[in-house]
A and B are shown apart, each in its own frame.
Chain A
Amino acid sequence: MLILDPEVDRAMREHTESGYPREVCGLLLGLIEFGSNRRRVAASRPAANLNLERAADRYELNPADYLRIEQEARSREMEVVGVYHSHPDHPSRPSETDRLRAEEIWQTSDSWSYLILEVASGRLASRRSWVLRQGVFAEEDVQILPFRR
């Protein structure tokens, strides 16, 4: 389950709507409860999409941004718990490209949360979250609750 702080929800809506019609991406910072596998998101951070050529339908998250954001997470005693990206005018389900690229990173364990936001004609239409488990994406519930340690 993915629990988003309302401020995070708002920030991601703004980021993905302002990036339309291009894909934008970013990271989710927070804590993972290992017993229940709940991911509690305290903050979202936009990252640069290095794919200039096909930004309408591809994203490559700038590794230098990942480094910087992970450092911030550590300094706040949190970690990167997920990645968010937008699907302009497209359902918020993972594509085969999403799956292939995620599979490269996650071999044996369950992945972090992949939150996909559908932005239709410039307005956020839906958001759904997914976890890669043994090469296949399974949907997880999303709840909006204020973040508390």
Chain B
Amino acid sequence: MAPTIKELMSQIRERVQEATPAEVQARAQGGEKLVLIDVREKDEVEQGLLPEATHIPRGFLELRIEALAPDRKTPIVAYCASGNRSLLAAEGLQRLGYENVVSMAGGFNRWRSEGNPVVVPQRLSEADRRRYSRHLMIPEVGDAGQIKLLQAKVLLVGAGGLGCPAAYYLAAAGVGTLGVLDFDKVDESNLQRQILHSVDRVGTPKTESARRTLLALNPGINVIPIEARLSSANVETIFKDFDIILDGSDNFPTRYLVNDACVLLHKPNVHGSVYRFEGQVTVFHPPAGPCYRCLYPEPPPAELAPSCADAGVLGVLPGVVGLLEAVETVKLILGAGDSLVGRLIHYDALKAEFRTLKLRRDPKCRYCGDGAKFPGFVDYEQFCADPASVAH
């Protein structure tokens, strides 16, 4: 005679081990490579999940588990709302040959009532879905990627030739928090390339001008204007709340401060430079690649620093380079593609040629080398023939 559901569940309990939420929490924090699977329905999951859990509804479990955990020895904890569906789910996994599966007794409800941490997934609003529809259609972005972009915090050092185009496209992409750091005011000569600014903004702080333009394009993001001069006194405080730093600065003292802070705080430093018809882009993020000081341990001596008057550039070049920096930033946020860590792209506009150079970390670098103790920030002397700052 066929078993009742009660009998079936009893039989399953003999084959499938259960673990209490406390036991699951202990295992999760103990460093074991545990796979947590939430087998509830989509609407239930919107209230919250266990941290690091993957959502696979019960109906799709056997069909999707092999892609998530091909190794049959993978330790798995399945949970549902109250601990019943997860028993059935765990039994299904055992039938597929998974050897190390437990079901969480009492489910999500008990987990939460016992005070354990819960993560509420961010969702895209209807307005977001309309605005970012072209992103949502791309497999490498999708809902999850767009949410990552909205949660990302990027700081643009410099709202000049490189910073303006980069900021514009990062705002368009929906990077949720953009910091814009610059202490300069908009000047007419900027308008040949610094496309966030305009005639009516001449004389206003660049940070304020940038904020207005970016919010007009995408009011759904946060733009944080930071009208300040970067120094050893403020760099750590300013940088610590951002995930990625995009260096659009035009002078060596700033470049070294940016590098050193990124090395100290382990943040990727997206770097670009331009001159006349050429440009370069790379991402500094040791130890996978070098930091700026691996290539240039010290700034040039004052008498060799380039004259600020010699800063001619074809306006569209910083546009190209700034946008390449924006692409690298988006790739870092999404975790997509191969980043430019350890590589440098060189663009020669006149020849219409791109070339790639390989860069290597210096294991003896004073700042990012093996076992290096952070030597501290340095305020190099600003040297420039022309006292007015000239942006890229």
| A interface residue numbers (CB < 8 A to B) | 21-22, 48, 50, 52-58, 62, 64, 88-90
Contact = CB atoms under 8 A, between A and B. Distances in A.
B279 interface: yes
A2 B28 CA distance: 72
A54 B300 contact: yes
A90 B348 CA distance: 28
Contacts of B155: none
A50 B346 contact: yes
A56 B279 contact: no
Contact residue range for chain B?
Answer: 20 to 34
B304 A64 contact: no
A21 B300 CA distance: 13
A89 B296 contact: no
A21 B355 CA distance: 25
Interface string B263-297: 00000000001110011100000000000000110
A56 B275 contact: no
The secondary-structure label for the interface of chain A is loop
A25 to B, nearest CB: 15
A56 B346 contact: no
A90 B304 CA distance: 9
A23 B256 CA distance: 22
Contact of B273 (A22, A52, A56, A90): A52
B280 A56 contact: no
B278 A52 contact: yes
Interface centre among A55, A57, A88 (most CB of B within 10 A): A57
Contact of B305 (A48, A56, A62): A56
Contacts of A48: 348
Contacts of A21: 306-307, 310
B357 A57 contact: no
Contacts of B295: 53
Contacts of B348: 48
A55 B304 CA distance: 10
B295 to A, nearest CB: 8
Interface string B310-348: 100000000000000000000000000000000000101
26 contacts: A21-B306, A21-B307, A21-B310, A22-B310, A48-B348, A50-B346, A50-B355, A52-B273, A52-B274, A52-B275, A52-B278, A52-B279, A52-B280, A53-B273, A53-B280, A53-B296, A56-B300, A56-B304, A56-B305, A56-B306, A57-B301, A57-B304, A62-B355, A64-B355, A88-B304, A89-B304
A89 B279 CA distance: 25
A50 B273 CA distance: 12
